[in-house]
Structure 1
């Protein structure tokens, strides 16, 4: 699942790639100290018997408005659940507006995320080889107009996820179009309106999903809002539906201005008895996208009336020590299974020595500081595609050591590749509306120049993903360096390697393609379950040491800042966002 926040750089935006190591970028500044421990993601457990209503949060009260500031984050362009595959959009909608087959609930004692039922009455049942999954849809869930959510609408929502042309950045491009019946052949209801698809069948309240290949993770995939209902027919016609969605969660949309603001109000047709994990404490939510980090920090540290009922999804590095001292448990440090990568274009930067030179040319510490990150806290040196704690992860170093900023090593590798006499040209985009991205671009260009590269940065006003993911975009065709910021969709490397490196994958921004790698990725899900994790770890190491198509630049952690009247401040380690489901305003 991608991060939408285009802060730093890499391909012109940011957190997408804060490069590979904790070495100095030349400033000599020391890392800010931290006496805190991060809230760990931990392993996801399952509770198939959980039923609504969700247990009350101790001390919670109803009423009030919660304002969420998202610095440097443009947010979703559309709210269509089928097209959602970003941390920002999915974390908001899956918690507050858009239900699915399954969902996550945070255990208040352990902080662990627990997979529990949502619109399904349990976590589903399957046949012996995981090629058929059945879910019974509860009969007491409703839309915001009071009409019932039906199994037919759930089946229609799932069918929409097969349409990769209509939803090219949606998660269905990776999971539905790989594992569901008709994968690679059926093009979806909008692209192929006259074609018949039998991938989902309905029998009373039960839906059955038929697979093209074994898929033991369907209960996890069921937690995505793409695996939820959509109104039948023209009522959910894209792209208009993404501007005016129908809610079936505790909140509904009052207004939505993409890249600016989203306002949610209580959905009076939502029945808490139908929902095992969500609450409806606040009267209203206001999400403010593309905010200036320095201004937000000033608000949140002031403890004035405006800040008390607000929260911020990030904190600038220059304010970390102050916040760490004065905010107590209102500064939440959340560990996530998220990694930032640089993505050299594999079809243009064909020499692995140049790709390794890029890894040594990235000014890590200076970039992290320039873009508002806290070295050693929100950014930790990375050495693999898979994040820490993921089952099967191997410990290895591509070049025999952790990459650090080293202009001399970068120049030596460029010389080895035949580029000793003139700078190697790099073309990328950066997100101009964010002052931190602009600052990061300047640091990036300076560090790269000292290491033998010449960078052409193209400013863009939209999220860099809108450029990177459009093969017909004129600017994208000029680029030889992009990036991606990726979080696991559930605790498996199945959600890391194939989405980023399979030929033709939506978020394969490196344009990497090797048939032997594709064949391995296709084969691993059919292995015995107890062999899959190590097989993914071995493939991770082989891809990076043999091809080095993407440069893991940082393992990511998050800082969330909560106002003094926001109750139950906590993060959701599964998706890497605040735990919106359980927040309230203290009265």
Structure 2
């Protein structure tokens, strides 16, 4: 996931995730203090029945306002893979075959969401069967069937819809080139993908080329969200995805505002995860992080039942005022997440490994953190997050806290290197771009910085022919472990003209082969060790990124918001339990 985790057993799973229990600043920590990530236990739940567990103090009514400075990159469930859309969609509008159940208490389960359970495996793990619950309906009252789920998976194969997760497509096809033969349901294609069976309206069966014990976790991804074929508007579907969850779109003005209201055809008795306490949710896409934080600090009007979302973290300019205010300090949602912020190097353009090593030596991580917000992370030196099972701490290019300019110059051989750096056009990222341009100059780099619209950022970078040398991205695992970090980021066999997750465009035969070997292992402990070893090998031989920051979420909410918690799978504010006090 952007701001994407892998299990190989289907019992109790020890995983490394952000500590979901650490959801608030209680007044004991000041700027720069850090909370340590902890190891959680995730289980496949035995009971997937609704309704969702009660929320103490919750009541119906009111409007929750969500502040974010840019629109969702994609709200089409089969295209969504960036955290704000995943959180809002999964918590409020889309249902999937399975989903994570959490309440901010540190416990994490996978439950059947649309399905009656977390799936039934056979054929040595190659075949997985899901049975849908009774009483499932779309927002227009039409029953949700297994054919709608199959159609949702089918459309994810389309070359026109390239931005979402690719686990099911690749597993069904047995290849990274998943749409080489089957290209989805458009232009006369079948509405059910090869390898999928829908023997009746309640049953969907997946027949994979190889065993996949982590299917219950992959099924939490919105690839398995149902889509009614009659309502599919292809690339325009994200303007009004048909709701299967507790809220539906009332109005959606792109880049301005989206209002969600209750979906009267959602049955809470079928849903083990979600509630519909607020009358409505309003997403405002026009406030900067500073404007949102100032409004939440003042805690008046609509901001009392508002919250900042994902990248709208408390900026460094506002944070001192927040921690100096006892009331506001209690309304910080904070905790470590599984995300790593990294500067990707476009290997198609930056071909000299010494240039890439020099960038690693030259980066002033402490200075960058001060601009980013020193309370919002720790310096990073690895691909994998410290929350990842088997994580190994190393620093191959130790430039100290502020970078080693002389070592970088030595690697560059006295040459000056012009590079183009693309950044998401937000206040925080503007400041980071300016800092990098200034701080890397002494090491021999001449950066041209170029903004990209926030709601187009990863779409633009995912084009193989994008014109940039460097860009910042945050990546976190889809489910715990190295397999949903290293393969999507660095398997060169999956590179396509558009929709790439591998935006360094690395294609290294040795690393590709090692990924296949690790994915074939049945011993998870051994696999964890080998992912960590591959992390080090990639950073030694290829150097496709400059690790920058291990992420910590630090956002604010108003005094009338109840039921908020830091979501462990998404590293974002959970919305499914919110109510207005």
Answer whether contact 2:423 2:471 (CA < 8 A) is retained. Answer: no
SS of structure 2 residue aligned to 1:581: coil
In the alignment, does 2:144 pair up with 1:144?
Answer: no
Pairing 1:300–2:292 present:
no
Q: Deviations over 1:413-465 (max 9, x none)?
A: 212xxxx1x41111122344x23333332222111111111111223345332
Match of residue 389 from structure 1: 387
Query: Residues of 2 paired with 1:329 and 1:168: CA distance?
Result: 41
Aligned to 1:112: 107
Structure 1 266/40 Cα, relative in aligned 2: closer, same or farther at 3 Å?
Answer: farther
Per-residue deviation, 1:53: 0.5
The match for 1:214 is 211
Match of 1:441 in 2: 433
Give, in whole Å, the separation in 2 of the partners of 1:539 and 1:155: 35
Match of 1:9 in 2: none
Name the SS of the counterpart of 1:180 in structure 2. helix
Kept in 1, the 8 Å contact 2:419–2:469? The answer is yes
Query: CA 1:396 to 1:38, structure 2 compared with 1: closer, same or farther past 3 Å?
Result: closer
- Alpha-carbon spacing, 1:245–1:332, altered in 2? closer, same or farther (3 Å): same
Structure 1 residues 92-115: Cα deviation after superposition (integer angstroms, max 9, x where no partner): 00000000001112145x333321
Question: Which residues of 2 match residues 157-168 of structure 1 at below 5 A?
Answer: 157-163=152-158, 165-168=159-162
For the pair 1:179 / 2:177, whether they are aligned, the reply is: no
* Structure 1 partner of 2:332: 331
Q: What is the match of residue 519 of structure 2?
A: 525
Kindly indicate whether the alpha-carbon contact (under 8 Å) linking 1:359 and 1:403 is maintained by their aligned counterparts in 2.
no
Q: 1:186-585 maps to which residues of 2 (within 5 A)?
A: 186-190=181-185, 193-194=188-189, 197-204=193-200, 205-232=202-229, 234-313=230-309, 314-325=313-324, 326=326, 327-370=328-371, 373-375=372-374, 377-399=375-397, 404-415=402-413, 420=414, 422-432=415-425, 434-462=426-454, 463-472=456-465, 476-477=466-467, 479-503=468-492, 504-505=494-495, 506-530=500-524, 531-585=526-580
Residue correspondence of structure 1 range 10-159 to structure 2 within 5 A: 33=31, 37=35, 42-71=40-69, 74-108=70-104, 110-127=105-122, 129-159=124-154
- Give me the CA root mean square deviation: 2.3
CA spacing shift, 1:137–1:199, aligned 2, 3 Å: same
Q: CA deviation at 1:311?
A: 0.7
Q: TM-score scaled to structure 2, two decimals?
A: 0.88
Offset of residue 41 of structure 1 = 7.2
Q: What is the deviation of 1:207? A: 1.0
Going from structure 1 to structure 2, the CA distance change for 1:36 and 1:384 (only over 3 Å counts) comes to: closer
Q: Which runs of 5+ in 2 are unaligned?
A: 5-28
User: How far, CA to CA, are the matches of 1:369 and 1:388 in structure 2?
Assistant: 21
Could you tell me how far apart the structure 2 residues matched to 1:401 and 1:411 are? 12
CA distance in structure 2 between the aligned counterparts of 1:339 and 1:402, rounded to whole angstroms: 19
Deviation at 1:290, TM superposition (A): 4.5
Residue 8 of structure 2: aligned partner = none
Deviation at 1:191, TM superposition (A): 6.0
| Counterpart-to-counterpart distance in 2, 1:191 and 1:235 | 13
Which SS does the other structure have where 1:78 is aligned?
A: coil
Shift of 1:466: 2.8
Between the two proteins, the alignment pairs up a number of residues equal to 540
Whether contact under 8 Å (1:101, 1:120) holds in the other structure is yes
Whole-Å separation in 1 of the counterparts to 2:300 and 2:347: 50
> Which one is further off, 293-302 or 37-46?
37-46
Taking the aligned partners of 1:493 and 1:403, their CA distance within structure 2 comes to 27
SS in 1 for 2:434: helix
Cα displacement (A) at 1:256: 1.8
Q: Cα distance, 1:548 vs. partner?
A: 1.4
Structure 1 residues 286, 228: closer, same or farther in 2, change over 3 A?
Answer: same
Q: Partner of 1:485: helix, strand, or coil?
A: strand
CA distance in 2: counterparts of 1:439 and 1:522, whole angstroms: 40
Q: Relative to structure 1, is the Cα distance of residues 487 and 538 closer, same or farther in structure 2, using a 3 angstrom cutoff?
A: same
Q: Residues of 2 paired with 1:37 and 1:518: CA distance?
A: 35
8 Å contact 2:423–2:472 — kept in the other structure?
no
Shift in Å, 1:34:
5.1
Counterpart contact for 1:65–1:309, Cα < 8 Å:
yes
CA shift, 1:190, in A, is 4.4
The answer (yes or no) to whether the contact 2:335–2:553 under 8 Å persists in 1 is: yes
1:142 Cα offset (Å): 0.7
Partners of 2:244 and 2:571 in 1: how far apart? 23
Moved more, 35-44 or 576-585: 35-44
5+ long unaligned stretches in structure 1: 5-30
For the structure 1 residues 459 and 400, does the alpha-carbon distance in structure 2 shift closer, same or farther, using more than 3 Å as the test? closer
